[in-house]
Amino acid sequence: MMPLQTVRPNIVQAIRAFRVEDLQTAAQDLGQHFLYAHLGAAQSKQEVLEAIAEAFLFPAHFGKNLDALFDCMTDLVYKAGGQPGFVLVLEQLPDNARFDREAREQLLDVFRDAADFWGERKIPFRCFYSFQ
């Protein structure tokens, strides 16, 4: 069974019982982009943004702030042409004083906004995350 059949096409949710390998396979089977960032070494918002930028191959001019993250996840990709859909995994988001619940929610809000952006264009965008 395809693990994504039970997941809404535009959503940000905890990875829960899903395995990264299964999500990657499902994305490949659907012909969708698979983007993976392991954030276990990041401790601060800046380090999280840098790790995502590196993992997702953002351009060198990426501004390392939440607005720039949204632009990279939406406008830049949208201008690149038709898109088949996205499966993203943000593994081991920090959970500490330098990257607290508010910081995590702000980050996840960017991905929620990106999911809405792609949803309006009828393009699947599923983002899964886990905490350290």
What is the b/e burial string over 26-50, where b = at least 16 CB atoms within 10 angstroms of the residue's CB?
bbeeeebbbbbbebeebeebebbbb
pLDDT in tens, 68-125: 999 999 987 888 888 999 999 999 999 999 999 999 999 999 999 999 999 999 999 9
Residue 1 has pLDDT above 70, yes or no: no
Please give the average per-residue pLDDT across 54-69, as a whole number.
93
Instruction: Please report whether residue 5 resides in a domain.
Output: no
What pLDDT score was predicted for residue 37?
98
Tally of domains within the chain: 1
Instruction: Please report whether residue 1 resides in a domain.
Output: no
Host domain of residue 69: 10-131
